[in-house]
Structure 1
Amino acid sequence: MSNPKLQSILLLLLLSLSPFLLAAGDSIHSLLVDHGLPAGLLPRSVSNFSLDPATGLLSVRLDRPCLAEYDRKSPIHFDQLIQANLTYGGLRAVTGLSQEELFLWLPVKEICVPDPSSGVIFFDIGVARKQLSASIFENPPDCKPEGDRKVFNDVSRLNFREYDERKKDQ
């Protein structure tokens, strides 16, 4: 190819497509880390994802809707499709993610790590902004099928019953 004009056009085309190629070839978990977020915010069962570098829109598709438990207090439900605007240190306008809080499933609207060195992550669930240790999100969790939501609720109730019984015995 000796035509410099054609070479320039091909180079420009390749450069403009490179963000899409990088996002497609990289793992979602390393993409999160590159943006100052813990790798374990999303489960292992991600089947594919895309990132629009112009808008920051991140779309993540899982094999199926599922539940993950990071800490024993509040499981997280993932829809099959999760979307958010990815910025450094944050996922904003999140859809497809909800967290159980006081026996209610509330949508997660935003996740942010304002200072990665602080070890703190914030979840905005609409009615509250939860502060959690970022360390519980270091590793991508295994996700259980959505039908296990009842099991999570039963286990939570069992733990409360056991606690109440122990308290009565003291």
Structure 2
Amino acid sequence: MALHLTTVSIALVLLLVRSLLATSFPLNITDNASSAYEILQEYNFPAGLLPKGVVKYDLDESTGRFHAYFTGSCSFSLEGSYQLKYKSTISGIISNNRLKDLSGISVKVLFLWLNIVEVIRDGDELEFSVGIASASFPIDNFYECPQCGCGLDCVNSKVSKFRVKSSFASI
């Protein structure tokens, strides 16, 4: 009987420690790759801002500071538009309708690779800023998550068309 009470006591202590840790530290989700996409949607962004393949993420809900992790870097092109690169870790600060202080995401404009530093949702459009310029895109371009290497049309080995409202090309 003493052994059984000891086991129950240890289990209760572990549960207590786990609950204390969960409330004392930032949220850290590692079990479900789709969770990072769900978090985007909770902040009023479409899941397609992130390519498929997020293996884990962490989010400090008190500050909005987040990190999303991939197994490696990711790049793809969108026909008639842009080449995008995601580093193995991207980070920033998320709030409702705004992603700021972004790092780890870049876009090729003409011959230059520029870091995307902010994304703002304004109604049915997303505005992407590279600091010196910005471009707006219809939000429905981002309902589907692109895939590393082939973008949005990996079945046919072609890259699907991406609608552009205004572009970075004026840089």
Question: What TM-score does the superposition give when structure 1 sets the normalisation length?
Answer: 0.69
- 1:13 aligned partner, one-letter code: L
State the partner residue of 2:132. Answer: 127
1:91, CA displacement in angstroms?
1.0
Does the CA contact (< 8 Å) of 1:70 and 1:137 recur in 2? Answer: no
1:98-117 → structure 2 map (5 Å cutoff): 98-115=106-123
For structure 2, the 5+ residue unaligned runs are: 1-7, 151-171
State the partner residue of 2:27. Answer: 20
Name the SS of the counterpart of 1:54 in structure 2. Answer: coil
Does the CA contact (< 8 Å) of 1:56 and 1:85 recur in 2? Answer: yes
State the partner residue of 1:139. Answer: 144
State the partner residue of 2:159. Answer: none
Does the CA contact (< 8 Å) of 1:111 and 1:121 recur in 2? Answer: yes
1:19, CA displacement in angstroms?
6.8
Question: What TM-score does the superposition give when structure 2 sets the normalisation length?
Answer: 0.69
1:98-117: per-residue Cα shift (whole Å, max 9, x none)?
011112110001011033xx
State the partner residue of 1:168. Answer: none
- 1:128 aligned partner, one-letter code: A
> Which structure: greater helix fraction?
1
1:69, CA displacement in angstroms?
3.0
Percent identical among aligned pairs is 24
**CA-based RMSD:** 2.6
Name the SS of the counterpart of 2:72 in structure 1. Answer: coil
Does the CA contact (< 8 Å) of 2:30 and 2:55 recur in 1? Answer: no
Does the CA contact (< 8 Å) of 1:70 and 1:141 recur in 2? Answer: no
Q: Distance in 2 between matches of 1:11 and 1:43?
A: 32
- 1:131 aligned partner, one-letter code: S
1:96-140: per-residue Cα shift (whole Å, max 9, x none)?
00011112110001011033xxx2000001121111111111111
1:69-104: per-residue Cα shift (whole Å, max 9, x none)?
345311211011100101111110000000111121
Q: Distance in 2 between matches of 1:73 and 1:43?
A: 16
Name the SS of the counterpart of 2:55 in structure 1. Answer: strand
Q: Distance in 2 between matches of 1:91 and 1:101?
A: 21
Q: Distance in 1 between matches of 2:149 and 2:88?
A: 13
- Is 1:80 the counterpart of 2:110? The answer is no
- 1:32 aligned partner, one-letter code: L
State the partner residue of 2:70. Answer: 62
- 1:141 aligned partner, one-letter code: P
Cα distance, 1:15–1:142 mapped onto 2, change above 3 Å: closer
